[in-house]
């Protein structure tokens, strides 16, 4: 690190758990964020400010006026622009040292396999159940840790799904791909603005912990937040040996 970097990241370096070695791991890391909306906004901004060396942002949507109530990476002046370009601009304004790659596209399994393989950590910041399943499957195939968050109304949840570990579940162990799932959208159900900030920020924190090797990740634990009472609930989660996504992989490893 040069003198400017030592100064910029000094508050991380002062932490015994991170120090210079941990910050260098952050600088060398590549994080893939799928979704540049309510969750992706704070996640990208905090990962960028923390010095993650490369960020790849993926989203096919454009900034809408209704997004600005909660999607803090975007501005009134960028309404109509692709969300990934707007978010990339916001990250670069905070930290021009970060390499940001903006991809405006809807990803399929093939694209996800390629993108996941290039990343050290993947963040699922989407609001679509089918896309969530596709991201999880790609992370299982690519053996990459996945930090998944969700928020609607006054409720939020966050967890880590780490296929490198044989003792913790993948996303599909908890939420089966073939389950009948009623999609709920912010456009019809509403969302408390700070809720996406809380969950997206926690996703950034879990990603940085995984990269720097700090503490214990949320793998094997699902945190749920009731924003009405600001009450956190932790649920222990277990791997499903019959899981159609990760079951065969762990069976082979065993």
> Which residues have a catalytic role annotated?
186
Cβ-based neighbour number of residue 216 at 10 Å: 9
State the Cα–Cα distance between residues 53 and 40, nearest whole angstrom: 17
**Residues in Cβ contact with 57 at an 8 Å cutoff, skipping those fewer than 6 apart:** 33, 36, 40, 44, 84, 87, 88, 100, 101, 102, 103
Angle 228-230-233 from CA coordinates, rounded to 5°: 110
CA torsion through residues 153, 155, 156, 157, sign: negative
């Amino acid at each position: 690190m040069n003198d400017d970097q030592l100064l910029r990241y000094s508050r991380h370096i002062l932490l015994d758990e991170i120090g210079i070695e941990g910050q260098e791991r952050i600088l060398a890391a590549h994080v893939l964020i799928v979704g540049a909306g309510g969750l992706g906004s704070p996640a990208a901004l905090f990962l960028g400010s923390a010095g993650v060396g490369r960020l790849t942002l993926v989203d096919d949507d454009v900034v809408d006026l209704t997004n600005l109530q909660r999607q803090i990476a975007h501005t009134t002046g960028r309404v109509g622009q692709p969300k990934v370009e707007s978010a990339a601009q916001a990250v670069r304004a905070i930290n021009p040292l970060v390499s940001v790659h903006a991809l405006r596209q809807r990803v399929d399994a093939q694209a996800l396999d390629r993108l996941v393989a290039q990343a050290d950590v993947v963040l699922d910041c989407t609001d679509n159940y089918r896309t969530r399943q596709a991201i999880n499957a790609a992370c299982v195939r690519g053996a990459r840790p996945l930090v998944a968050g969700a928020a609607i109304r006054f409720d939020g949840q966050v967890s880590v799904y780490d296929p490198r570990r044989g003792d913790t579940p993948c996303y599909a162990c908890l939420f089966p791909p073939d389950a009948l799932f009623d999609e709920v959208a912010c456009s019809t159900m509403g969302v408390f603005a700070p809720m996406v900030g809380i969950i997206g920020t926690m996703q950034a924190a879990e990603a940085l912990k995984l990269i720097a090797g700090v503490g214990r990740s949320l793998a094997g634990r699902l945190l749920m937040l009731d924003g009405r009472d600001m009450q956190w609930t932790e649920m222990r989660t277990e791997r499903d040996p019959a899981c159609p996504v990760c079951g065969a992989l762990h069976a082979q490893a065993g």
